[in-house]
């Protein structure tokens, strides 16, 4: 090795000793004689030569060949720059690699560092030790001594696990490796995270070097929470940093479509940050997980079970109009007992069941036969119905409950019943109420009774102290029917006043399909792997008790994922039992190397051999020229090769002539660049999908869309300019406004769109981006926009290619505006189109061709209709009022008929 330079085959360098001999050989060998046709030369053939003058090879050609030969020798010797050595000692190398959840973010870099160490170990052998337990539950163990190739293959087969490293088992494995190989050299590729048992593991391992990445990039997404008003909350944890950190979080549905995006801002020197995710209830019920985009690993995913989503509870009461009356109303105490964040919908039975709530609470509602049939279908589909008794129910029992209820009221406080109310006894051990605190302060005075001849014992979930049933329940299909045989207000009992009443209601409303099971043994439905993907459960996964769900940490036996049964699921996430994140402290005398500093050798052999081949090619052309063998065709070939060689030389590149803009050669759609990179990515993906649709459906051929900055880029090259405005868009500068005005005056079509609107506005995007409409008015106030009117299906824009009746995007229902007739150009084309349906969000596709966002309300064909709107916008920008005559077709047909 010469400094950091070494050779893979240094013996080949001995060929340099042959170069002096090669010099004299080439010097003595004359070049081939040049052939020249000269007829009088025949007279000289009869003369006898008296002297011979040797012709020697030109010096420049000789040096060229010597340099080419030297480059071939050096290239075959394999020159390379080798980084400073990592390993010490001479024994086998114990390579410990962290592959717990904290290593997933930069696991590829850890594998690259491990390969570099295995390369350097060479014939010494490598013993691999991965610190996390395997998916089959086996603890970490040191492997056998592997050769270089086997070690590289084993390193490539490692992958991160969705649970932390097992430091106790790691310590035992390190001690076992030390006992088996006393002279080994230990190197630790660490995740850099402090954890219980790490110091004991380091003491047993005694590493000669520690290789670790930056702990500052580690982010952990906590379980999704719910705000008091029902909004979803995202919480991110990290190692405190001196500067503020912004972390984007996406709310996705089961298909991976992004439904909402929030930014979690973590203040300096703080370990956590929280952000609200505002979604309408229809979409919040579809959220299946929160993710940190662009990051791999279980730490960047928070799954949502049935209890994590906002619950819609329907409330209906019969008999009186003052069901919400304070202290006496039939729904007053039920409303106060609902889970925090649950959305409440009160009204008639027809109104509330039409909203498809997750749970339905009926307070003394008299059910007609058609209502009974509808409720049965609702329960079978996964809903839960909770019925409270009352005078109406007692006078006219219905047939909803398979356990027949008897007419009449039993008065426990009357003289015939002993004159004292009864309390509730222990809940049935096999009922969903098992484990709840008994309402000892609840005295039942009156109730209705089930028919004992038709009562199934399994349907009794709670009894009074004298054995009288008070709560009946049973599963029907995917849902549940629960009968509380007393009133929902204090008229018949003190149960609504009991401290246990909220827990009772909270348990009952989650009994439907998609709710969180609160009792019984739960099986693993889908597991979360180390890369943050849902996979089928492994054989090592064991059922767990739903009552202990909050106390279970992620492990091979209980991996993070979705647990439950056919009636619902509950999410077990990684973050539930991860302690406070902090950087690990390393032993003072052990050198610590960053992942970026561990690099593999850089080889120059192929580059040097390529240079030698280029010199040999030049030598061939020079030899042909000296022999006079070059013809016109050969000269052309040589000129081409020479020009290519010169243009490949780096110094030639800066002098290359600037190519014309791509938009000048191909028709291209453009968009106004935003301050937010995420918005640019969405718009670029949307316009790319629209471009593909236009190229497939029409005769137009569009190039890839481009982002532009008005006032700096030339907008005259683009027929259509898309501008997506959000609540965070800043007002443009005067040069930007002037450039946009000039673009519209010059015949361009400016399409202004938003990613949602304020709550209460028209369209299904209401509430998605509060402040977007005000931002649009503020941002466009500097533009010289013409007077506007709503777009209808009678306008040319609705007929330019497809016949459109509506103009949906990701949302539907928001009006679209175009210029009035007096505000258009000479051809009658509106210079601006303004919408609020988020067309780009509907068009956008991911790298795998799947849509990036779900649609609302998600009607059949809505995405195809949104693409057709985009195609019409492009054709409107390209052809103007070419299809305006279609608007006169009805009148023309009428005249023809006449």
The tens digit of pLDDT for each residue in 276-325 reads 888 776 677 678 889 998 888 899 999 987 655 557 788 988 765 566 67
In angstroms, rounded to a whole number, what is the distance separating the alpha carbons of residues 690 and 265?
Answer: 34
Q: Write down the pLDDT at residue 568.
A: 65
Q: In the CATH scheme, what is the code of domain 662-888?
A: 3.40.50.12140
Q: Average per-residue pLDDT in the chain?
A: 82
In angstroms, rounded to a whole number, what is the distance separating the alpha carbons of residues 742 and 716?
Answer: 9
Of 6-15, 296-305, 433-442, 782-791, give the lowest mean pLDDT range: 6-15
Residue ranges, CATH 2.60.40, the chain: 219-308
Task: Look up the pTM and report it.
Answer: 0.55
Of 114-128, 565-579, 773-787, give the lowest mean pLDDT range: 565-579
* Fold type of domain 219-308: Immunoglobulin-like (2.60.40)
pLDDT band at 641; cut points 50, 70, 90: low
In angstroms, rounded to a whole number, what is the distance separating the alpha carbons of residues 22 and 821?
Answer: 88
In angstroms, rounded to a whole number, what is the distance separating the alpha carbons of residues 638 and 621?
Answer: 7
In angstroms, rounded to a whole number, what is the distance separating the alpha carbons of residues 803 and 872?
Answer: 9
Pick the CATH number of 313-509 from 3.40.1350.10, 3.40.50.880, 3.20.20.140, 3.40.50.2300: 3.40.50.880
pLDDT band at 890; cut points 50, 70, 90: low
Residue ranges, CATH 3.40.50.12140, the chain: 662-888
- Take residue 636 and report the two structure tokens written for it: 């052309």
Q: Write down the pLDDT at residue 341.
A: 63
Q: Write down the pLDDT at residue 848.
A: 73
Maximum pairwise Cα distance, the chain: 158
Q: Write down the pLDDT at residue 750.
A: 95
Pick the CATH number of 93-216+581-600 from 3.40.50.2300, 3.40.50.410, 3.40.50.1980, 1.10.150.530: 3.40.50.410
From the list 481, 411, 501, the residue with the least C-alpha distance to 447 is: 411
Residue ranges, CATH 3.40.50.880, the chain: 313-509
Q: Write down the pLDDT at residue 654.
A: 40
If one compares 456 and 203, the residue with the highest pLDDT of the two is 203
Q: What is the mean pLDDT of residues 108-126?
A: 88
Q: Write down the pLDDT at residue 876.
A: 92
If one compares 828 and 113, the residue with the highest pLDDT of the two is 113
pLDDT band at 688; cut points 50, 70, 90: very high
Residue with tokens 């310590």: 171
- Take residue 121 and report the two structure tokens written for it: 């170990």
Residue 482, phi then psi, degrees to nearest 5: -125, 130
Q: Is pLDDT above 70 for 599?
A: no
Cis peptide bond upstream of 857, omega within 30: yes
Residue ranges, CATH 3.40.50.410, the chain: 93-216+581-600
3-state secondary structure 535-580: ECCCCCCCCEEHHHHHHCCCCCCCCCEEEEECCEEEEECHHHHCCC
The proportion of the chain whose per-residue pLDDT surpasses 70, expressed as a percent, equals 82
Query: Do 570 and 563 contact (CB within 8 A), yes or no?
Result: yes
pLDDT band at 686; cut points 50, 70, 90: very high
From the list 212, 298, 240, the residue with the least C-alpha distance to 584 is: 212
From the list 338, 77, 106, the residue with the least C-alpha distance to 226 is: 338
Of 171-185, 259-273, 616-630, 656-670, give the lowest mean pLDDT range: 656-670
Q: What is the mean pLDDT of residues 96-123?
A: 89
């Amino acid at each position: 090795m010469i400094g950091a330079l070494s050779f893979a085959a240094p013996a080949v360098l001995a060929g340099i000793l042959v170069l002096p001999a090669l010099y004299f050989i080439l010097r003595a060998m004359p070049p081939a004689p040049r052939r020249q046709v000269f007829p009088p030369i025949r007279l000289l053939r009869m003369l006898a030569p008296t002297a011979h003058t040797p012709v020697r090879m030109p010096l420049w050609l000789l040096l060229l060949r010597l340099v080419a030969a030297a480059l071939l020798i050096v290239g075959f010797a394999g020159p390379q720059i080798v980084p400073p050595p990592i390993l010490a000692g001479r024994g086998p190398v114990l390579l410990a690699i962290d592959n717990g959840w904290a290593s997933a973010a930069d696991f590829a870099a850890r594998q690259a560092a491990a390969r570099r160490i295995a390369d350097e170990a060479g014939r010494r052998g490598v013993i691999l030790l991965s610190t996390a337990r395997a998916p089959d539950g086996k603890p970490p163990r040191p492997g056998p001594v592997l050769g270089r190739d086997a070690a590289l293959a084993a390193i490539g087969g490692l992958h991160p696990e969705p649970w932390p490293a097992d430091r106790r088992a790691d310590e035992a494995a390190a001690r076992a490796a030390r006992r088996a190989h006393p002279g080994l050299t230990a190197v630790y590729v660490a995740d850099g995270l402090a954890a219980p048992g790490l110091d004991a593991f380091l003491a047993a391992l005694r590493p000669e070097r520690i290789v670790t990445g930056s702990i500052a990039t580690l982010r952990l997404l906590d379980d999704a929470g719910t705000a008091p008003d029902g909004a979803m909350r995202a919480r991110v944890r990290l190692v405190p940093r001196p500067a503020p950190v912004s972390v984007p979080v996406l709310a996705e549905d089961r298909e991976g479509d992004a439904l909402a995006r929030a930014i979690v801002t973590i203040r300096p020197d703080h370990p956590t940050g929280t952000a609200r995710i505002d979604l309408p209830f229809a979409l919040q019920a579809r959220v299946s997980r929160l993710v940190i985009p662009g990051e791999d690993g279980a730490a960047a995913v928070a799954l949502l079970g049935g209890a994590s989503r906002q619950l819609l509870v329907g409330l209906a009461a019969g008999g009186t109009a003052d069901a919400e009356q304070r202290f006496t109303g039939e729904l007053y105490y039920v409303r106060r007992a609902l889970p925090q964040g649950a959305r409440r919908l009160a009204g008639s039975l027809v109104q509330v069941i039409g909203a498809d709530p997750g749970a339905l609470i009926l307070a003394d509602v008299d059910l007609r036969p058609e209502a009974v049939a509808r409720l049965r279908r609702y329960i079978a589909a996964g809903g839960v119905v909770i019925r409270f008794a009352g005078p109406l129910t007692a006078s006219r029992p219905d047939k909803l409950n398979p356990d027949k209820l008897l007419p009449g009221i039993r008065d426990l406080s009357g003289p015939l019943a002993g004159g004292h109310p009864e309390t509730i006894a222990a809940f049935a051990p096999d009922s969903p109420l098992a484990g709840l605190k008994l309402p000892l302060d609840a005295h039942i005075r009156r109730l209705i009774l089930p028919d004992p001849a038709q009562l199934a014992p399994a349907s009794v979930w709670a009894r009074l102290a004298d054995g009288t049933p008070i709560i009946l329940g049973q599963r029907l299909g995917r849902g549940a029917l629960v009968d509380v045989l007393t009133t929902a207000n204090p008229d018949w009992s003190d149960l609504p006043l009991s401290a246990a009443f909220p827990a009772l209601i909270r348990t009952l409303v989650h009994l439907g399909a998609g709710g969180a099971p609160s009792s019984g043994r739960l099986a693993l439905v889908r597991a979360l792997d180390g890369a943050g993907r849902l996979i089928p459960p492994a054989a090592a996964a064991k059922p767990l008790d739903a009552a202990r769900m909050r106390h279970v940490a992620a492990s091979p036996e209980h991996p993070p994922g979705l647990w439950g049964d056919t009636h619902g699921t509950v999410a077990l996430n990684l973050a539930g039992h991860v302690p406070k994140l902090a950087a690990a402290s390393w032993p003072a005398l052990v050198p610590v190397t960053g992942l970026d500093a561990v690099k593999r050798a850089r080889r120059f052999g192929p580059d040097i051999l390529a240079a030698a081949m280029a010199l040999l090619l030049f030598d061939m052309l020079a030899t042909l020229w000296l022999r006079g063998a070059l013809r016109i065709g050969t000269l052309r070939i040589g000129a081409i090769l020479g020009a290519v060689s010169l243009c490949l030389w780096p110094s030639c590149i800066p002098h290359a002539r600037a190519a014309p803009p791509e938009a000048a050669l191909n028709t291209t759609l453009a968009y106004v660049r935003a301050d937010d990179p995420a918005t640019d990515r969405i718009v670029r993906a949307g316009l790319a999908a629209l471009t593909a649709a236009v190229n497939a459906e029409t005769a137009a051929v569009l190039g890839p869309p481009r982002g532009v900055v008005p006032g700096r880029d030339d907008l005259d090259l683009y027929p259509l300019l898309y501008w997506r405005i959000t609540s965070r868009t800043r007002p443009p500068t005067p040069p930007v406004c002037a450039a946009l005005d000039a673009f519209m005056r010059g015949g361009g079509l400016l399409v202004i769109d938003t990613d949602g609107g304020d709550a209460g506005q028209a369209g299904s995007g209401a509430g998605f981006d509060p402040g977007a409409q005000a931002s649009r008015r503020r941002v466009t106030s500097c533009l010289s926009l013409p007077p506007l009117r709503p777009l209808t299906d009678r306008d040319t824009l609705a007929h330019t290619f497809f016949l459109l009746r509506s103009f949906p995007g990701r949302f539907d229902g928001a009006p679209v505006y175009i210029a009035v007739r007096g505000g258009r150009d000479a051809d009658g084309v509106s210079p601006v189109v303004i919408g609020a349906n988020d067309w780009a969000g509907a068009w956008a596709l991911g790298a795998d061709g799947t849509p990036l966002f779900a649609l609302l309300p998600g009607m059949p064909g809505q995405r195809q209709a949104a693409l057709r709107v985009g195609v019409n916008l492009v054709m409107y920008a390209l052809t103007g009022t070419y299809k305006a005559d279609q608007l006169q077709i009805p009148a023309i047909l009428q005249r023809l008929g006449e």
